[in-house]
Amino acid sequence: MKLTLLLLTAVFLQVSATSEAQPITFSGKNVPMEKVFSVIREQTGFLVVYNVALLKDIRKVSVDAHNMQLETFLELTFREQPLKYVIRNNTILVTGKPRPSQLSGDGEQQLAAAPPAVLKGIVVNEKGEPLPGVTILLKGSSRGAVTDNEGAFSFTAGAEGNAVLIVQMIGYIRQEIAVNGRSHLQITLRADVHNLENVTISTGYKKIPKYQLTGAASLVTQKEYDQRVAVTGNFLESLEGKVPGLVYNSQSGELSIRGVSTFDAVKKPLIVVDGFPTEIDLNTINPIDIVSISVLRDAAAAAIYGVRASNGVIVVETKRGKSGKARLSMRATTAFQESPDFGYLRFAGAQEFVSLQEAVFRRTKPDESAYIAYGRPMSPAMAILFDEQQKRITPAAARQKLDSLGGSDNTQEYKNLFYRTRMASNVNLDISGGNERSTYLLGVNYIAEQPVNNRSKNNQLILNIANTYQLSKRLKMDFRGVYAHAVSENGTTAPLTDFYPYEKLADANGIPLAVAQGTNREYLNFGVSRLRNNRLLAVGLYDQLYYPYRELTANTTKTKTNTFRAQARVEGKINEWMSAEAGGNYELQQGVQNNLLDEQSYTVRKLLNLKATKGPDGRALFIDIPQGNILRRTDQKVLNYTLRAQLNFDNRSARSLHEVSGILGAEQRKTTGESYLNSYFGYDPQSLLSRPVNMQRATLYGNAAFPDVTQFGGGMTLTEYLNETSSDRRFLSWYAQGTYIYNSKYIVTGSYRIDQSNLFGVDPKYKFRPLWSAGGAWRLHMENFLKDVSWISELKLNATTGFNGNVPVSNNGAFLILASQLNNMFEISQPSNYVITPENQSLRWETTQTYNLRLDYGFFNNRLFGSLDYYHKKTKDVFGQYDADPTSGFNQYNANTATIRNSGIDLLISSVNLRNRRFEWRTSLTASLNNNKVLAVKAGEYKTSEDITSARINRQGYPMDAIFSYNYGGLTDKGKPFVYDTKGGRHILDFYGNAVVDVAFEDLIYNGTTTPKYVLGLNNQFSIGDFDLSFLFMYYGGHIMRVEPPNPANLGSYGTMLLKGSSDYWKQPGDELRTNIPGIAPGTLQDPYYFPSYARYGYRYASEFVRRADYIRLRDLIITYNPKFNFIRRMGLSQTQLRLQGQNLFYYTFSGNDIDPDAIDRVSGVRRLPQRPLYSISLFTNF
């Protein structure tokens, strides 16, 4: 803490010193002016712009300067020379002094005398923002100007009709523009993002010129990021295809950089916003406010973040105010997306479903008396078949009813009742301005979304402020604040598998109808026949039937979230090469979720029936739990803060052969989370009143008073209605980072960090283990042997190594973690505790050592540029579950259990294919290859082969998320499924029978991993006149997915939804030659055609149902119109754009099927609803 206090104090030292102008140290006799200008550029970074012809007859100068201020140095060297200069921002414009015959100048804008034709204009960037400090020169003369703070310029240019202007500024592409007789010009400069000299990467702790980096870091500029509109506020979507090694699935939200290297720890990259890690909802980051995103991928780039950096770091920089008059920017977007395509799920239609139910009924010959005795529910088709079986109706009548039932498919009705077209709108306004002393930015963003689910909506308002203050010549302050308010409302959308495909969900008047049972709902907890339900109603209990459409309004959830983020940073300049800064951020996110369960909701009706008692008259009384609504209110809070103090130094020798820069600092971080669930029974939303609950009796198991209720329910799970959780993570860190550069060619970097945390044990061997990195770079293009190779613009070789760390998730750490409950297995419920995680004082953070080789290249004046990386990551001490000593009383505990390797290649190729005044074509290709392997793992053995085939497996010698399958042999002549072992033996599986039949791990087939190995992003951009066109293709490959096969067993008495083709199962001997689908097993063990239900796993998880998951997707297609009508300029508008965008328009799978690999559980093969195309129209403009 003494170091922290010292650094905090250092900020305020020497703030009274004078001028912060750049110093010059140089001594020489009879030195040409070209050399003087070169010294200025090398020692100050200022650009000196001049016409070479001006120096033709200029005399040489002699000067002896030591730490001389720039302006003094210029006055000394320009004395008695026929030259003058103007300094604007970081540009020095040198022109000739006017001859006596010429007109006098008009201030700093009038830099040279000329004929009385005044040329005016404004220079802006691609966002329409004014650019101060741009040099405007009249080609072939010394006349020109430098733009002011408003980007405006004006000078007497002469009357030549064919005049050409040279427009240039550091960091932007030089342009030559023909005047063509115009008196007012609007000039747009494009950022030169491909020149390493002009690009800076933000690590969060400091900004570093990209050419000084030795590690693997990618920069996504504002122009590249803004190429796609993030309609609903998720900024991560816009990174896909722009950063090699980054994999993002917008449907699942999975994000990784260079593979995943952990089992149970944090898997996503660390997100840093304006220099500080964030722990709150990423949707509170307004994508429109982002100006750049730096992605740090290896140890040298990310190790400064220590135990948070193993998965990479994403550093987001947001807007700040710019000096000049106030400017207003507006963006508005409207988008829509079609309702889901349920045909993709390939569920069997009503006719096939009825046909299979009939086949199962006639095969298994169920007993109606068992259904009646236990009140078991039966489907409408089964009720018809029982009527026929008991001769209550004729076979002909049964056939007519079954055919009618098969013609009543409810998929379209379900879609109309529960789904709709998704609509979203996004409006953003921000105003910025300021002067040399302070700048400001105020912004507001509003998103209104009508999701695809009926009875749901999402709204979010974000307010942000970004101010900078130049408190003195040596002291400046930066402040940023964000407030976000989000509200969402959702009804309960019943899944399509909750009912049979022929059951109507509402009558002609829209009144909800009951269904026989949810086809995914288990008998003991939910099922009840209509006969049994009538008995419940007769004694005053609630209707226990399930009404899916009623749940849409009877079970609703409303969530309100308020988020506040503030950060401040003060920087003081100690001397010319050292500064100190102190700052921090504070984040608070508070949310309230109200789940209102109406008295007529299924949950409340079931719970009240479970807890009813019997009155003297035999009718139900509701005493332990009061009648009425139930409100479940969850209060959540996340609080995060970071305090940081840091010294910055940047020192160069007089001749600029040596450069040394770096940082030294300390920081403290804390993140806490709290969640409180409270429930209010008998709740009245009008009066806000509720009634008490007898909690001890409410948690008892079953209902002895009403046996009809006891059969289908147990006790109330306490944590569903009352719960409390909390977490507390603390870190104290010391860090240092340095860079040494010799002769601008050879670069050496290093970093060192020590992290202390309450998440780890106290074993001294691990407590002070440092995380460090080292790297070197060689700028080959600056060597003499390559200087004459004109087509090489950039060529830089980098090599790095280092260690990063990772931390465990919430229920994981060095300490004993307990949970409390009321034990409902006793007559009187008793409080009790159970252990979630046993303590482990030897637990230490995961460490990842990374080696990285990188080549940065640029050819043909950076018309072709990019990078190539090879990396090797080895992660040790991976968190996982480890088998405990049985005498300890625990089965497993959290420990450091595994070692994982990730290695691969990242490639970036960008090119400017064609460019002229009216047309430009750019291409960017990102490619990554990742090979993942579990090198060692200590874990418990799997009990059965089904445990392996039905899950993602992390096993030694294989990649993470590996898939293993049975060597399925097909069917016997009696329709029984069997599998092969490695010796060719046949096995009909039975895991839980009297005689277990299983195969060994070696008998299973390794199919591959569900994680993509190869990722390609191909982006093409065309500019044709006033129109821009771009499209992004994404390729993911090298991974596999399981496909769920048709299976008539999914029907069962209470089964799951059937897939199309399930009726093509084995029915009689000989069918095994045409189908692999097992038959329907008879109901008796003695039947020769009987086989255990577990045998079907050999078919369900057969290797033949594993497919390649490779696919290509047209991720987006964007057309932008940039109107340049005069009336737009006269209205005070600039850089107006109209944009049309389509996302997820097309995909192609290489496995020759219609499955979207992003819309499927790649292990089970169960399909999910895919993303439909999203269309949007946007308007951008500046005032």
Residue-by-residue DSSP string for 909-945: EEEEEEE-SSEEEEEEEEEEEEEEEEEEE--PPPSSH
pLDDT at 166: 85
Residue 1079, both tokens: 């038959």
d(CA 922, CA 913): 6
1142 forms beta bridges with 1117, 1175
* Three-class DSSP category at 803: strand
Count of C-beta atoms within a 10 Å radius of residue 657: 12
pLDDT at 134: 84
In sequence order, what E strands does 938-1077 have? 962-965, 967-971, 977-980, 986-987, 1005-1009, 1014-1024, 1027-1037, 1040-1042
Among left, alpha and beta (phi > 0; psi -120 to 50; other), residue 540 is left
d(CA 389, CA 362): 10
DSSP-derived pairing of the beta strands 91-96 and 47-49: parallel
Residue closest to 111 by CA, chosen among 148, 172, 157, 56: 157
d(CA 1023, CA 444): 31
Angle, in degrees to the nearest 10, between helices 395-406 and 350-364? 140
pLDDT at 868: 97
Q: What torsion, rounded to 10 degrees, do the Cα atoms 775, 781, 786, 790 define?
A: 160
Helices (H), 346-394: 350-364, 368-374, 380-389
Count of C-beta atoms within a 10 Å radius of residue 619: 12
The residue written with tokens 């960008």 in the block is: 910
d(CA 693, CA 687): 18
Average pLDDT of adjacent 10-residue blocks, the chain of 1183 residues: 38 33 72 82 76 73 76 78 76 71 38 53 76 81 76 72 77 79 78 64 89 91 85 86 90 87 87 92 89 91 86 92 86 94 91 90 84 78 92 94 92 95 95 90 96 95 95 92 96 89 93 76 56 89 92 96 96 90 96 96 90 91 93 96 95 74 95 93 93 77 70 62 86 94 92 86 69 94 88 94 83 54 51 67 86 95 93 92 73 84 96 88 96 88 84 91 95 94 92 79 95 96 93 96 88 65 92 92 82 91 95 95 77 84 93 86 91 94 86
Planar angle of CA 1095, 1098, 1103, nearest 5 degrees: 175
d(CA 311, CA 296): 9
Which phi and psi (to 5°) does residue 449 adopt? -130, 135
d(CA 1179, CA 1183): 13
pLDDT at 10: 34
Which phi and psi (to 5°) does residue 250 adopt? -65, -25
| pTM, 2 dp | 0.83
Residue 113, both tokens: 């005398």
pLDDT at 7: 34
CATH code of 2-188, in short, is: 2.60.40.1120
CATH 2.170.130.10 maps onto the chain at: 196-325
Residue 1016, both tokens: 């390609």
pLDDT at 116: 44
Write the DSSP symbol of residue 991: S
Residue closest to 902 by CA, chosen among 929, 879, 932: 932
Q: How far is CA 33 from CA 74, 91, 452, 1034, in A?
A: 11, 17, 69, 53
d(CA 520, CA 1052): 11
d(CA 131, CA 323): 10
Q: How far is CA 960 from CA 258, 297, 766, 945, in A?
A: 13, 20, 27, 18
Length of the chain as a residue count? 1183
CATH 2.60.40.1120 maps onto the chain at: 2-188
Q: Give the architecture (CATH level 2) of 196-325.
A: Beta Complex (2.170)
d(CA 989, CA 1000): 12
Residue closest to 517 by CA, chosen among 386, 376, 387: 376
Residue 960, both tokens: 């993470």
Is 764 exposed, middle or buried, given 0-12, 13-18 or 19+ CB atoms closer than 10 A?
exposed
Q: How far is CA 900 from CA 261, 765, 878, 930, in A?
A: 6, 22, 8, 13
